[in-house]
């Protein structure tokens, strides 16, 4: 059964109009009373409304998380259903989770670019050298809430770096909420506790930050984390709470440490993208439906969902009896000082490309502040 947070998001994404229930004729009601077959027909019709048009276009959407993840149930499925509803059934989006169509998570971007699949959802950070401008939002202490940071990310790329995604049709650019530590063994209560710990790092920037904090970062996609923890390959993972249910981190981890500052140690960026040729091949009216259900509004909506999903993961871990620790704001000053070289390195690399790295970093942070203020109004 979906959580309240998941159902609320589904309601929001379907706000343009829920599926209408089919009208029952008197003949149908008569058959219903006397025939089990008619009862079956009734429920089939109720659960799967008949559109006046057969699907003209079936889009295959590929991603790396399980079908039971909060992401698929919470925003992917309602988003796909909304597009199908608005197109009167002419567009159908078939979702393939857990890399069911083959390949590794790091290959998803190229799969959609090359037309192997029609739509993907993935992390640009899996191939960081290709998305230098995107990675500004993955730097230490840049991200705030997922809702604000997602809008900032989308706006920043459109304004300063559209060329990073020129090979695909962008549907949404967003982030998850600031990540936390999920630990098996000795808890993390201060910087000293990170010394020599083997910690899963999701991005290049977070890996370098962990190294500067004394830890031993190991890079791996999120789906590999459960096995790595259970086999002792890593002692902890840096991840948002929204993946706790799908990765079963409430069962595998014994404690969790959150950073209680205005900005997080890290976030990860995501892209929802469509193959360009596939998008261009759609009739104009169907492209318009895709357009209405993409862009910064969708990025904001997904970001808000990611914030809500954090609460789900936290409650699940609490229910399991796991311990919680937090790094207070006054302690974070030392953390910020230790990881400042990561930010300086990003600026230097951007400067080497004949761009103003300091200015662009400041613009990214200002956009996060701007959207965070509007979120709190």
Residue 44 has pLDDT above 90, yes or no: no
- Averaged over 46-61, what is the pLDDT? 69
Q: How far from the centroid of its chain's Cα atoms is residue 199's Cα? A: 21
Q: Which is more confident, 324 or 13?
A: 324
Task: Report the SS3 class of residue 170.
Answer: strand
pLDDT at position 181, please? 98
Residue 377 has pLDDT above 70, yes or no: yes
- Averaged over 102-118, what is the pLDDT? 97
Q: What are phi and psi of 319, to 5 degrees?
A: -60, -30
Bridge pairing between strands 169-175 and 269-274: antiparallel
Local confidence band at 34 (pLDDT 50, 70, 90 cut-offs): very low
Tokens matching residue 306: 């990611």
pLDDT at position 293, please? 98
Tokens matching residue 176: 């998850």
Residue 373 has pLDDT above 80, yes or no: yes
- Averaged over 198-226, what is the pLDDT? 95
Instruction: Quick: pLDDT tens for 133-173.
Output: 999 999 999 999 999 999 999 999 999 999 999 999 999 99
pLDDT at position 94, please? 98
pLDDT at position 69, please? 93
Instruction: Quick: pLDDT tens for 255-309.
Output: 999 998 999 999 999 999 999 999 999 999 999 999 999 999 999 999 999 999 9
Local confidence band at 38 (pLDDT 50, 70, 90 cut-offs): very low
Residue 50 has pLDDT above 70, yes or no: no
- Half-sphere exposure (Cβ direction) of 225: Cα atoms closer than 13 Å: 32
Instruction: Quick: pLDDT tens for 225-266.
Output: 999 999 999 999 999 999 999 999 999 999 999 998 999 999
Distance separating alpha carbons of residues 300 and 373, to the nearest angstrom:
14
Tokens matching residue 339: 């990881």
CB 142 within 8 A of CB 364: yes
Q: Which is more confident, 128 or 90?
A: 90
pLDDT at position 18, please? 39
- Averaged over 54-76, what is the pLDDT? 94
Residue 22 has pLDDT above 80, yes or no: no
Residue 31 has pLDDT above 80, yes or no: no
Residue 37 has pLDDT above 60, yes or no: no
pLDDT at position 376, please? 84
Sign, Cα dihedral of 287, 288, 292, 295: positive
Distance separating alpha carbons of residues 63 and 73, to the nearest angstrom:
13
Distance separating alpha carbons of residues 203 and 139, to the nearest angstrom:
9
pLDDT at position 144, please? 97
Domains annotated on the chain, with CATH: 180-266+317-345 (3.40.190.170)
Instruction: Quick: pLDDT tens for 314-333.
Output: 999 999 999 999 998 889 99
Distance separating alpha carbons of residues 377 and 373, to the nearest angstrom:
7
Q: What percent of the chain has pLDDT over 90?
A: 81
């Amino acid at each position: 059964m979906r959580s309240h947070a998941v159902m609320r998001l589904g309601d929001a994404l379907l706000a343009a109009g829920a599926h209408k229930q089919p009208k029952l004729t008197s003949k149908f009601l008569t058959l219903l009373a006397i025939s089990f077959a008619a009862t079956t027909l009734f429920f089939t019709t109720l659960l799967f409304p008949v559109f006046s048009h057969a699907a003209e276009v079936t889009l295959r959407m590929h991603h790396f998380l399980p079908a039971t993840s909060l992401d698929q149930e919470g925003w992917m499925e309602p988003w796909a259903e909304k597009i199908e509803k608005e197109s009167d059934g002419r567009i159908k989006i078939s979702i393939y989770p857990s890399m069911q169509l083959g390949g590794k998570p790091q290959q998803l971007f190229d799969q959609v670019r090359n037309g192997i699949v029609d739509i993907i959802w993935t992390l640009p950070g899996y191939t960081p050298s290709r998305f230098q401008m995107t990675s500004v939002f993955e730097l230490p202490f840049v991200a705030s809430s997922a809702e604000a940071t997602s809008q900032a990310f989308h706006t920043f790329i459109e304004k300063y770096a559209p060329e990073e995604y020129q090979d695909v049709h962008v549907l949404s650019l967003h982030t998850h909420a600031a990540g936390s530590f999920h630990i098996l063994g000795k808890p993390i209560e201060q910087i000293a506790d990170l010394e020599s710990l083997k910690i899963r790092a999701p991005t290049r920037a977070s890996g370098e930050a962990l190294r500067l904090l004394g830890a031993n970062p190991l890079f791996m996609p999120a789906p590999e984390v459960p096995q790595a923890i259970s086999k002792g390959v890593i002692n902890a993972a840096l991840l948002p709470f929204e993946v706790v249910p799908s990765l079963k981190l409430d069962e595998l981890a014994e404690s969790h440490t959150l950073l209680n500052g205005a900005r997080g140690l890290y976030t990860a960026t995501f892209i929802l993208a469509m193959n360009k040729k596939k998008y261009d091949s759609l009739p104009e009216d169907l492209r318009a439906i895709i357009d209405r259900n993409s862009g910064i509004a969708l990025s904001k909506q997904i970001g808000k969902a990611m914030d809500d999903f954090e609460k789900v993961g936290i409650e699940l871990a609490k229910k399991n009896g796991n311990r919680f620790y937090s790094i207070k704001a006054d302690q974070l000053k030392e953390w910020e000082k230790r990881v400042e070289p990561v930010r300086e390195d990003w600026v230097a690399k951007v400067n080497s490309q004949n761009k103003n790295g300091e200015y662009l970093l400041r613009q990214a942070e200002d956009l996060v502040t701007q959207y965070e203020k509007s979120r709190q109004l």
